[in-house]
């Protein structure tokens, strides 16, 4: 008789039979993060909001994790607000800032839906981007100036640090200067969910008022993240009722997840420089190999404009849905765009905003590397992708009589 427990399939994602090129969607948990969170499922299970000694022990673990996150991000521990992940952090920053301060919300067209849909919901303004995916600074200034001319205050501007689909890096120092000059009362938020593995967060956080993180993007567990609200940046809480996080985010803390997130972030920060060099070299090897062997491969964003783990390409003459099916059958895990709840294939709003024609966007594939990627993964990946593209193109050729 079944116990009712749900068990994972026998095939491991880390098996030698599989190659994992989907680190932007989620990263394998670091063993140290798993070890850090395990005690909070058993002996240290108390609710940290209580007053007894076991509750105080759980609360102390949260405080220590808050110190770690603050040190890695470059902010005060009190600026760290633990959330259920990046989506909640993004929603809180944008919806909460406008609810508290009024005004409208502004963001580029390539933002993650957790930001973009908040801006649409508030009737805000969406700004154009360049062909490489950065926010168009001229368009941003024009938008802010037009709002000012209409007498409309700007409550919050949100510009992501690293694009989740194509890996583009935004210059947040330049964005800050423009926002301060043209919308001096606005708060500046960045979705830094994709940044932790590749960029020193201490160099990002001084330029913004809000910063969002999600643990599963850097070796922590799913279901936990953080919103950094620097310098006492004010917002209306989205979750109310319990008063946790100094009444900025109610709800019982995910103690094990928070502790594991801090452990993963600390290691990511310590190993970042070496990982960026190694993984960047592997990314170059992957893209160069595909370009050499497959005609019609287009690197979507120049390498100087994006993070080391991003190998987003568009391949002529193939449909990405069919290509991903063949890759999955051959043991290569990849994606076409950002991960959505349904897993359905949808047109990329990011590529559309960048002006990538549909003929290329239909063949877009997001290959993202991470700390577990190896040379053999890359070499086998090149072989599998090359074979799959050739198979699809042969099938698409008209048959001769």
Q: Which residues are catalytic?
A: 340
Helix (H) or strand (E) holding 157: strand 154-158
Place of tokens 């993963």: 264
- The region that residue 307 occupies, defined by phi over 0 for left and psi between -120 and 50 for alpha, beta otherwise, is beta
Using an 8 Å Cβ cutoff, are 225 and 213 in contact?
yes
Provide the sign of the torsion angle of the four alpha carbons 321, 324, 330, 331, taken in this order.
negative
The residue written with tokens 């299970």 in the block is 45
Cα separation, 354 vs 358, in Å, equals 11
Give the contacts of 131 (CB within 8 A, at least 6 positions apart).
Answer: 354, 355
Q: Check: CB of residue 152 under 8 Å from CB of residue 101.
A: no
Helix (H, G, I), strand (E, B) or coil at 101: helix
Q: DSSP class of residue 399?
A: P
Query: CB-hemisphere CA count at 13 Å for 59?
Result: 12
DSSP strand pairing (297-299 vs 313-315):
antiparallel
Say whether 305 sits in a helix, a strand or coil.
helix
Angle formed by the axes of helices 375-396 and 255-293, nearest 10°: 60
Name 82's bridge partners: 226
């Amino acid at each position: 008789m079944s116990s009712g427990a749900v068990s994972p399939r026998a095939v491991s994602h880390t098996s030698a039979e599989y190659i994992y090129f989907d680190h932007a969607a989620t990263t394998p948990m670091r063993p140290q993060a798993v070890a850090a969170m395990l005690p909070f499922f058993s002996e240290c299970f108390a609710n940290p909001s209580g007053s007894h000694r076991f509750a105080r022990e759980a609360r102390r673990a949260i405080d220590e994790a808050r110190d770690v996150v603050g040190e890695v991000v470059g902010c005060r521990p009190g600026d760290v607000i633990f959330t259920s992940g990046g989506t909640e952090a993004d929603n809180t920053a944008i919806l909460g800032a406008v609810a508290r301060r009024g005004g409208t919300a502004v963001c580029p067209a390539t933002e993650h839906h957790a930001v973009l849909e908040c801006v649409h919901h508030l009737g805000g303004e969406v700004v154009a981007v360049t062909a490489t995916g950065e926010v168009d600074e001229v368009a941003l200034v024009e938008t802010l100036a037009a709002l000012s001319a209409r007498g409309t205050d700007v409550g919050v501007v949100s510009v992501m640090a690293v694009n989740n689909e194509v890996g583009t890096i935004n210059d947040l120092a330049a964005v800050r200067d423009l926002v301060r000059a043209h919308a001096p009362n606005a708060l500046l938020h960045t979705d830094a969910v994709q940044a932790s593995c590749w960029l020193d967060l201490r160099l990002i956080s001084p330029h913004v008022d809000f910063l969002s993180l999600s643990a599963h993007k850097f070796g922590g567990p799913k279901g936990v993240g953080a919103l950094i609200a620097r310098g006492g940046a004010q917002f209306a809480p989205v979750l109310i009722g319990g008063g946790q996080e100094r009444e900025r985010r109610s709800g019982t803390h995910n103690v094990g997840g928070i502790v594991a997130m801090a452990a993963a972030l600390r290691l990511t920060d310590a190993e970042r420089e070496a990982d960026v060099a190694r993984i960047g070299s592997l990314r170059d090897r992957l893209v160069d190999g595909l370009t050499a062997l497959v005609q019609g491969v287009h690197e979507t964003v120049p390498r100087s404009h994006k993070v080391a783990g991003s190998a987003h390409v568009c391949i002529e003459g193939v449909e990405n849905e069919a290509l991903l099916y063949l890759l999955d059958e051959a043991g290569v895990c990849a994606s076409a765009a950002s991960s959505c709840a349904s897993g359905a294939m949808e047109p990329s709003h990011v590529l559309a905003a960048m002006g990538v024609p549909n003929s290329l966007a239909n063949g877009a594939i997001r290959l993202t590397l991470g700390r577990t990627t190896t040379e053999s993964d890359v070499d086998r990946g090149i072989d599998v992708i090359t074979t799959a593209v050739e198979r699809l193109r042969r099938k698409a050729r008209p048959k001769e009589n």
